[in-house]
Amino acid sequence: MQESSDYVIILDTDIHKKVEKGLYMDQSSLPIVEALQQHAKKLPDSFHVPGHKNGFVQPAYARDILSAARFDQTELPGLDDLHDPRGVIALAQQLTADIYGSRSAFFLIGGSTAGNMIMIIAALQEGDVVFVQRDTHKSIINGLRLVKAQPVFLEPEYDETSGLPLGLSIPTVQEAFHYHPEAAALIVNRPGYYGWTSPLGAIIGEAKKHGALVLVDEAHGAHFPAGDVFPDSAVSLGADLVVHSAHKTLPALTMTGYLHVGRSSRIHSEDVQEAAAMIESSSPSYLLLASLDAARKYLHDLTQTDDTVLREQLQQTKQAVLQAGSLEEQLPPEHVQADPLKIVARTPEGHTGWALQRYLEKEHVFTELADEAHVVFFLSFQPLTTETLQRIERGTDRLRSENPSVTPVAGVRSLPFSGMQKLPADWYKAGRGETEITTLENAEYKQAALDIVPYPPGVPLFLKGETLTGERLDFLLGRLEQGGGVQGVRQSENGQWLTSIVKRKET
């Protein structure tokens, strides 16, 4: 050890040795947070980046936003290096792996978007056939484009009552391996935006029986290890690589996440570290890293809470929200587990979820997601105030009184994907070339020049290069007409919906 007048520094090499031996696993510690606090105590003079100089250079008009700038540091002695971690970052990551039960964990400062790309680069090679759950996030598609893998899309199941996605079924995965036994990997996303989590263990077992890797986008499940009240994490079920968005359900700053290498994974941690260095910034934010460190300890503290207490607390919060808005909860089928941290609320008859969302926003209540017939409330582990519940009540009351509807709104239409779809070998090149902007009506039977993505949840409806036609085009027009947001489409001043298509070459 090396002592200074302010605090004791554990040499990087000493931490590295202890981490390698699995020692120094004190979940109550905060390695990165404490290192930043200790550095700030020295009142250091900065002749390095960033330009705010430990928060000293702050314009008055942004002082409140930049109040944490003194902790926004760079790779200085004692603060470690995200892309070659040997000190406090290495220790913080190992503590995270310990609580999730993974072989190794990596801090993400580009969210699960970066994490999905990193795990694909680390696991796949050009030309690899890979099964992909079709209602996957756009970042998965972009990762597959980067490595030039060969995706085979698998259609998820949908709930007959609500039309909401349920995830992949065992028969679908078995059929996929029957037709494509050469598949190198299976990519699954669970839970979805609605918090519904179908059984995954048997699917992982089926894939591994065929020698395939299993990569899981579990962005919305970073809190699953908190207790038995939540679904099992994909890490505990044996997935090879798992991505979590820490900022979605834990108190971490936006753009933060964890990437885990499973204990029985065939993926080398070194390959993940190399891929992370390719995708993420070489100047990572220490504020983001510190929030990941703190979120891990928060998760650890939750694991010390009795499951019965946690379950009752979340159930009481859920009932309070539903009662305040006189709303009913949309429950999944019996074989699917609902995340108690989310409420899928059905909207009053004759109203869309987007309409209810807008009325709630007028009361300064902002929800996670809306669709044709639902609004999703994303809870935290803290109780709600009376004022919040009153706002929900006012918003829903105003919807019913000010926005009467005569024609009942149809339920959610399942995303119009069907069966198994193998893309052409050069699919990643599609959509290139000269483009033009046109209306969606005129774009029918033409190739999309951009991915067209209803957002949220961020599932591509059309990939660039695909022909705009059929049920999917009808679905897109219906969503836009009812007020749903879509990336890749914009509205003109006269109200027409515009998109970019590949311009047909003159012959």
Q: What percent of the chain has pLDDT over 90?
A: 79
- Rounded-to-integer distance, Cα 484 and Cα 497, Å: 13
- The answer to whether residue 496 scores a pLDDT higher than 80 is yes
307-402 under CATH 3.90.1150.150, yes or no:
yes
Computed over its alpha carbons, how large is the radius of gyration of the chain?
24
- The answer to whether residue 291 scores a pLDDT higher than 80 is yes
Q: What average pLDDT does this structure show over 482-497?
A: 92
pLDDT band at 447 (very low <50, low <70, confident <90, very high): very high
pLDDT at 3: 33
Task: Specify the residue for token string 């990941």.
Answer: 292
Q: What average pLDDT does this structure show over 121-141?
A: 97
Q: What average pLDDT does this structure show over 252-272?
A: 96
Q: Which of 218, 314, 246, 258 is nearest to 89 (CA)?
A: 258
Second-level CATH architecture of 430-502: Alpha-Beta Complex (3.90)
Q: Which of 345, 474, 502, 494 is nearest to 413 (CA)?
A: 474
Domain boundaries, given as residue ranges, for the chain:
101-284, 307-402, 430-502
End-to-end CA distance of the chain: 75
| pLDDT, the chain, mean | 91
pLDDT at 11: 46
Note the pLDDT tens digit of each residue in 84-118: 999 999 999 999 999 999 999 999 999 999 999 99
- Rounded-to-integer distance, Cα 108 and Cα 89, Å: 12
Task: Specify the residue for token string 């504020």.
Answer: 287
**Is-same-fold flag (307-402; 430-502)?**
no
For the residues of 250-270, what is the DSSP string, one character each? SS--TT-EEEEE-TT-SS-HH
pLDDT at 403: 77
- Rounded-to-integer distance, Cα 297 and Cα 284, Å: 21
Predicted TM-score (pTM) of this structure? 0.91
Q: Which of 456, 413, 500, 354 is nearest to 137 (CA)?
A: 456
Second-level CATH architecture of 101-284: 3-Layer(aba) Sandwich (3.40)
Please, are residues 165 and 415 in contact by the beta-carbon 8 Å criterion?
Answer: yes
- The answer to whether residue 1 scores a pLDDT higher than 60 is no
